[in-house]
Structure 1
Amino acid sequence: DVILTNPPFGRKQSYRVVRDDGEVDTEREDYDRSDFFVTTSNKQLNFLQHIMSALAPNGEAAVVMPDNVLFEGGAGETIRRRLLRNFNFHTLLRLPTGIFYKQGVKANVLFFDKAPPSDEAATKALWIYDLRTNQRFTLKERPMTRADLDDFVACYRSGQAYERKESERFRKFPLDALMARDKLNLDIFWLKDDTLDDPDLLPPPDEVAAEVVESLEAALASFRSVAAKLQGA
């Protein structure tokens, strides 16, 4: 089978409980499921565990996840270790900032297959495509199009992974190199951000202004939603 999904992003990890005496308690929102191998309040990590448990043998998955899934310690490290061990986590697409969910959110697409049981790790190497560094897209002013993914699709070589070749944006990282990284951090970059040295490469003022307006409008929409819920409470 194939699982293609973009679980909802969110950092809320607790909820409020109003006791009979009117006092408010804050409790962690942990998920303790028999098919999960680690308990955590991180929703993205739990969605990833759910997909890993639901995927059938030899099944394929492509999942959109925020950056924290790649570097968060504790439960995150345990899940990444399991992902490399029991699945063929073969490709990671680093998406540009600001094209998914809302402005400023950094997202990735994780491609992995469920491998049959084995004494050896299913992942031999992780190929990472950097579509983020020195790339400039926005949701409205400069949206990403299908043509912007052409190079990644060509590098991916669906059904012919053995023919993959490294390029400026596409790099291969062997399993032993990944396992040697502190906390199994997979938040990996190698390209130089040119905007750090050349201010002329920064977006034009009108585009920056449009992004600010877009962010403010999104914030106002969120505040209106909260205000409406409070009025109805």
Structure 2
Amino acid sequence: MSEDHKKTLQSQLWNIANTLRGKMGADEFRDYILGFIFYKYLSERMHLFADEILKNDGLSFDDLDETTAEGTEILAAIQQESVERLGYFLKPSELFHKIAEKGARKTDNFILEDLTAILKHIEASTMGHDSEDDFEGLFEDLDLGSSKLGKTESQKNELISKVLSYLDKIDFRLADTEADVLGDAYEYLIGQFASGAGKKAGEFYTPQEVSTILAKIVTTGKTKLKSVYDPTCGSGSLLLRVAKEVEDVGHFYGQEMNPTTYNLARMNMILHGVHYQRFDLKNEDTLEHPAPEHADLRFEAIVANPPFSAQWSASAIHENDDRFSAYGRLAPSSKADFAFVQHMVHHLDSGATMACVLPHGVLFRGGAEGHIRKYLIEDCNYLDAVIGLPANIFYGTGIPTCILVLKKQRENPDDILFMDASQGFEKDGNQNYLRPAHIERIVSTYRKRESLEKFSQVAQRSEVAGNDYNLNIPRYVDTFDEEAKVDLDEVAGKLVALEKEMGETEKAIAGFCAELGIKAPF
């Protein structure tokens, strides 16, 4: 699949999304357009799957008559296999292009009730099956009765029909199993929505450049992963990014507190071709009420971009929680950063790697955070690397951030790698971006574990202990640029010459003023 086709598809989908832009906020029209794209994807996938089953009988799924006994019998057989293999079922009359065609008619074109029923039926088709949890409530954010779509039912119907008609003209090319063009386009849209969502973007999206760094770090030396976990998975993009760095990921796990974002993550997984049996995402508060199904699991790779310095209860009840009890202190209620780290460390398997993005404060703040930091370094010896990133690379916040890399069985137990990558970026408007060369330098330095002048330093653990476990990067990486020496004799000479030149200029001006019969200005 050509790069040109991918860019064309991205442009087409973004233009369709903008049909809704004037009606509602970015986060709201995001939910509609991504939901409709997902419905079209499920429909086309169902269509391809059913046609393959019917091929030997010379039948087409589109042409099956749902009202006859024969048609009903064939559909029942297809439904059983579809729910088992795909996780859901759609009848021929419920396919996306059938609804889009009805909405495009001049008359008898009201589709809102049909569309609402179809979206509910997709979910209902999974009930009692293994895929039920993965499809439950997926379309609950598509409120087709919302006044934001129009004042009257006719106006709402006209707008939705227009969007579906535009989408119907786009070929997702799902038969091309070698490419993930639609998945890439979906990721592109999520990124576009994040860039316009301001502070809310941090709730669901990690910039791809940062995701790439995290993914490359946790897959270092691996071609396959048994499992990957993100305790604050947002739209699921970070989990999917990890999958691009290896040949295969056995299972994806994640938790997301926001219901709307949780729905988006499940859609993202399915749309990228991750079978429902290979992902296990939960709509839970990771710190306060972690998913009980994940309690005893340990993961081969963990990646995360937790909400920076979020509040949490820090309740005394957590002092007996296995995730926190060994440390003797809880992260402060006003800053949950280390609570997320403790949660991830608890779920990290032996020989596994975790990489998470955090605010710089975790490197040097004292109190409970200093105590936890010391425990992780001195008692556990889990901290493998600290990487400082540029400021203003996240949507919605301009603060500088860092990446902490932790392992339970470190190959280099006597040292910690520090990296100052804060100056490696390209500015575009108000946003800073990491380019491929910046990413490559960070990842290469981590993998080679190099000390590079003014960029990285492999520091002994004894040095970190000597700094009272303060991880502030300038303590270890010297980025100071000595200012050029000033030759005072040369400067003095220039001042004398300048004064002489000014005196000559003043004489010339005085002469001109005398000729004009006016007073000189000095």
Residue 35 of structure 1 deviates from its aligned partner by: 2.2
Residue 146 of structure 1 deviates from its aligned partner by: 2.6
Distance 1:70 1:125 in 2: 16
Whose helix proportion is higher, 1 or 2? Answer: 2
What is the match of residue 7 of structure 1? Answer: 306
**Mapped contact 2:355–2:406 kept (Cα < 8 A):** yes
Evaluate the alpha carbon distance shift between residue 77 and residue 142 of structure 1 in structure 2; reply closer, same or farther with a 3 A threshold. Answer: closer
What is the match of residue 73 of structure 1? Answer: 366
Stretch deviating more after TM superposition (73-82 or 169-178):
73-82
Q: Deviation string for 1:41-92 (max 9, x for gaps)?
A: 2211110111111111222111111111111112111221222131442211
1:39 aligns with 2:330: yes
Whose strand proportion is higher, 1 or 2? Answer: 1
Distance 1:73 1:142 in 2: 30
- Structure 1 segments unaligned to the other structure (5+ residues): 14-28, 117-121, 196-233
What is the match of residue 386 of structure 2? Answer: 92
Which residue identity is paired with 2:433?
P
Distance 1:50 1:82 in 2: 14
Which residue identity is paired with 1:126?
I
Evaluate the alpha carbon distance shift between residue 45 and residue 139 of structure 1 in structure 2; reply closer, same or farther with a 3 A threshold. Answer: farther
Evaluate the alpha carbon distance shift between residue 75 and residue 141 of structure 1 in structure 2; reply closer, same or farther with a 3 A threshold. Answer: closer
**Mapped contact 2:330–2:368 kept (Cα < 8 A):** yes
- Look at both structures and tell me which one has the larger radius of gyration over its CA atoms: 2
Which residue identity is paired with 1:10?
S
Distance 1:59 1:144 in 2: 26
Which residue identity is paired with 2:330?
T
**Mapped contact 1:92–1:109 kept (Cα < 8 A):** yes
Distance 2:354 2:435 in 1: 22
Q: So what's the TM-score if we normalise by structure 1? A: 0.64
What is the match of residue 175 of structure 1? Answer: 461
**1:205-224 superposed matches below 5 A:** none
1:30 aligns with 2:319: no
**Mapped contact 1:98–1:137 kept (Cα < 8 A):** no
Evaluate the alpha carbon distance shift between residue 191 and residue 11 of structure 1 in structure 2; reply closer, same or farther with a 3 A threshold. Answer: same
Distance 1:139 1:70 in 2: 29
What is the match of residue 52 of structure 2? Answer: none
Stretch deviating more after TM superposition (171-180 or 126-135):
126-135
Residue 148 of structure 1 deviates from its aligned partner by: 1.6
Evaluate the alpha carbon distance shift between residue 30 and residue 88 of structure 1 in structure 2; reply closer, same or farther with a 3 A threshold. Answer: closer
Evaluate the alpha carbon distance shift between residue 139 and residue 59 of structure 1 in structure 2; reply closer, same or farther with a 3 A threshold. Answer: farther
Evaluate the alpha carbon distance shift between residue 165 and residue 187 of structure 1 in structure 2; reply closer, same or farther with a 3 A threshold. Answer: closer
1:115 aligns with 2:406: no
Distance 1:149 1:94 in 2: 12
* Alignment match of 1:192 (pick from 480, 484, 492): 480
Evaluate the alpha carbon distance shift between residue 165 and residue 39 of structure 1 in structure 2; reply closer, same or farther with a 3 A threshold. Answer: closer
Tell me the secondary structure at the aligned position of residue 46 of structure 1: helix
Tell me the secondary structure at the aligned position of residue 110 of structure 1: strand
- Identical-pair percentage: 24
Distance 1:47 1:139 in 2: 33
RMSD: 2.7
Tell me the number of residue pairs that the alignment of Structure 1 and Structure 2 aligns: 170
Evaluate the alpha carbon distance shift between residue 44 and residue 101 of structure 1 in structure 2; reply closer, same or farther with a 3 A threshold. Answer: farther
What is the match of residue 349 of structure 2? Answer: 56
Residue 3 of structure 1 deviates from its aligned partner by: 0.5
Stretch deviating more after TM superposition (131-140 or 74-83):
131-140
**Mapped contact 1:133–1:193 kept (Cα < 8 A):** no
**Mapped contact 2:424–2:434 kept (Cα < 8 A):** no
Q: Deviation string for 1:123-179 (max 9, x for gaps)?
A: 41111111114756468544222322221222122xx54xx3433301111101100
Distance 2:387 2:445 in 1: 11
- Structure 2 segments unaligned to the other structure (5+ residues): 1-299, 484-522
Evaluate the alpha carbon distance shift between residue 54 and residue 109 of structure 1 in structure 2; reply closer, same or farther with a 3 A threshold. Answer: same
Tell me the secondary structure at the aligned position of residue 58 of structure 1: strand
Which residue identity is paired with 1:3?
I
